[in-house]
Amino acid sequence: MAGEALIVIDVQNDFCPGGALAVTDGDQVVPVINRLIQRFEHVVLTQDWHPAGHSSFASSHPGATPFETVDMPYGAQTLWPDHCVQGTKGATFHAGLEWTRAELVIRKGFRQAIDSYSAFFENDHETPTGLAGYLRERGISRLTLAGLATDFCVAYSAIDARRQGFEASVVLEGCRGIDLDGSMAAMTAKMREAGVALV
């Protein structure tokens, strides 16, 4: 297992029931991920970490409502309810998540003008988070991903993992999706096309 790592995506209060951008049954991933954490020598977590007034928030666009799409300099952007604001309870990891064994926490979405779904890149698909370099330096080539949400941050991370030359598998039991306008089917197909193993 030395060359393998578990990447746990955004298991934060705002994505769980009662949160600002709650994924249906999002908290049900916690026991599955806790079991995975026990099996892996290397564990990395991602944490959505937005400044207040982030450009991906509908509240930052007068007259806009959550889940609308707008054009940003880097492409189409879904507008979200304010969520995972730095330092808030919503941004903290779910209380049941046994995350203390994580070697690294990658914070993403902290640049005011650009959103970040992937653990590897901002939404311009160019600005790196540094995760790929970290994994390569550690000699890790095989990644298992789980977390929230299947059709956004998990899928984008898994596809980018493949583009960066890593083997990638997604544990579907440890994920839950938003399914915005058929996004679950679309992103599941895109993951398969990219060579991501769905297990």
* Catalytic residue of the set 48, 82, 108, 175: 108
Strands 167-176 and 75-78, how do they pair? unpaired
10, 48, 82, 160: the catalytic one is 10
Confidence category of residue 80, pLDDT binned at 50, 70, 90: very high
118 pLDDT higher than 80: yes
Catalytic residue among 151, 153, 160, 175: 153
Mean pLDDT throughout 54-60?
97
Q: Decide if 89 is catalytic.
A: no
pLDDT in tens, 166-198: 999 999 999 999 999 999 999 999 999 999 999
The model's pLDDT over 13-44, given as tens digits with 9 standing for 90+, comes to 999 999 999 999 999 999 999 999 999 999 99
Place of tokens 């994920």: 175
Task: Give phi and psi for 168, each to the nearest 5.
Answer: -140, 135
pLDDT tens per residue, range 136-151: 999 999 999 999 999 9
- The verdict on whether 71 is a catalytic residue reads no
- CA 96 – CA 63 distance, rounded (Å): 37
Whole-number Å distance between alpha carbons of 145 and 155: 9
Averaged pLDDT score across all residues of the chain? 96
Q: Examine the residue annotation and report whether 10 is marked as an active-site residue of this protein.
A: yes
Residues 6+ apart with CB under 8 A from 150: 170, 172, 175, 176, 177, 178, 184, 187, 188
Phi-psi region of 109 (alpha: psi -120 to 50; beta: other; left: phi over 0): left
